[in-house]
Amino acid sequence: MVLLSLTEEYLAVSHDLLAFIDESPSMFHTANAIRNRLEEAGFVYLSEGATWNVSPGGCYFTVRNNSSVIAWKVGEKFNTDAPCRRATYQGAPYHFQIAAAHGDSPSYKVKAVPEVQSAQKMLRLSVEAYGGMIDHTWFDRPLGLAGRVLVRSGARIESRLINITRDVALIPSLAIHLDHASGLTPELNRSVDLMPLFSAGELSEGSFKRMVAKEAGVNEEDVLSWDLFLADHTGGRIWGIQDEFVSAGHLDDLQAAYAALRAFLASDNDADISVYACFDNEEVGSNTKQGALSTFLRDTLSRINGALGLGEEDLHRALSASMLVSCDNAHAVHPAHPEKYDTVNQCVLNGGIVIKEAARQSYCTDAFSRAAFEEILSTNGIPYQVFANRSDMPGGSTLGNLSNMHVSIHGVDVGLPQLAMHSVFETTGSHDTVLGIRALLAFYNADVVISEADAFEVRQ
């Protein structure tokens, strides 16, 4: 076995992260990239529409809407003949250890009627903002399209992934000579300024659908509908004289989704049910059938419980002893604006995983879950940081507490530090993905034995 130096490991993992991001220009591609890696690792796909057979020692996954994925590994020590009595601590039930991230990122979604006639026979695309992106970062860069298309194939209607990597659109800036304020951050109207240029006059209405049909490999009349998003195919970069930085699109939250998946696949814990989840629609509130606010996680855990021959009472007991790590990236200190951050509860690039906390409960971290996660990291010598917003700034939210509305378990919110969150091109540290994998692997490998909110024991 060839052992990599620390620097070589950082670079190798960063390159692999960028390859994962290249595979994932839309939430549908993200789910497909995750699915491919699970199948390569020997995981068995269980359709939500089929009967589930689950056994101790087995590895499984399921998919909803082709945009959200949940995978799990049942510990070898799970004893269905004596439920709630295997590898127990003072009679505690079996439990789930879950890491969850999201696979969607802010972009612009193409509407059902895609083309807009503009001045001098120019054709633009009618798009709508998906999530809260930094609009001006999307200007003056060639863009492709990615997502899913529903097509007619014989008597069936099928979903097909498409990824148009060819540059087919661009959102042009207004020249500074025509608006002298535009040299600064401009005031933008998304229905006027953010509609990308599609043709200077060579194309006519219907050209967009013909392009999509060709990409999907069907006739134009067989294209029925689509969920398509503008995609920047510039590709990521590792940069800096010392290779300190990684920049790419979708770092929020594909970096955390990737780190959690790598940790999950590498983990080995025979005393619990380890779970990995990647949800869709976090950027627009998660309140969809495939979002973290949906019943997807609850449905999956309940069906695992039932497939193992256990009842409702066993599930309630298991959830009381379970733990969720919600993984969504964190705001590293900006070099030009340190005043935007809390003076002491702040994080930096290449400092490792970040534990996020908020009194208003926009993060699910509390003293109990923070103590449990910090104990795991400290015991394993893994660096970590803490983050809280300035007390006069509300900050954002994430999927942890939304998941808890249907599956109420102890949870901690973490993330990897980054700059320019929600820009079309974000930046993180080249060390942080490796440090994140190590932190989440330590969580998966530890047997966290929880006694409600009174006590816990971390067994390595």
For 30-54, the pLDDT digits (tens) are 999 999 999 999 999 999 999 999 9
Overall average pLDDT of the 163-185 stretch: 85
Cβ contacts of 46-49, under 8 Å, gap ≥ 24:
48/299
Cβ atoms of 248 and 237 within 8 Å: the answer is yes
Q: Is 196 exposed, middle or buried (0-12, 13-18, 19+ CB in 10 A)?
A: buried
At residue 230, the 3 state secondary structure works out as: strand
Residue-averaged pLDDT of the chain: 92
Overall average pLDDT of the 341-356 stretch: 96
Asked if pLDDT for residue 81 goes beyond 90, the answer is no
Residue among 81, 72, 75 nearest 459 (CA):
75
Asked if pLDDT for residue 184 goes beyond 90, the answer is no
Predicted TM-score (pTM) of this structure:
0.94
Cβ contacts of 373-380, under 8 Å, gap ≥ 24:
373/325, 373/412, 373/414, 373/443, 375/456, 375/458, 376/442, 376/443, 376/446, 376/448, 376/458, 377/353, 377/439, 377/442, 379/442, 379/446, 379/458, 379/460, 380/438, 380/442, 380/460
At residue 271, the 3 state secondary structure works out as: coil
Least confident of 67-81, 253-267, 358-372, 432-446: 67-81
Cβ atoms of 332 and 419 within 8 Å: the answer is yes
Confidence of residue 395 (pLDDT cuts 50, 70, 90): confident
Each residue of 367-377: pLDDT tens digit?
Answer: 999 999 999 99
Residue among 275, 243, 282 nearest 443 (CA):
275
d(CA 438, CA 244): 18
Least confident of 15-19, 214-218, 281-285: 281-285
Q: 78 or 384: which carries more pLDDT confidence?
A: 384
Identify residue 46 by its one-letter amino acid code: L
Q: What is the pLDDT of residue 398?
A: 83
Overall average pLDDT of the 26-33 stretch: 98
Asked if pLDDT for residue 116 goes beyond 60, the answer is yes
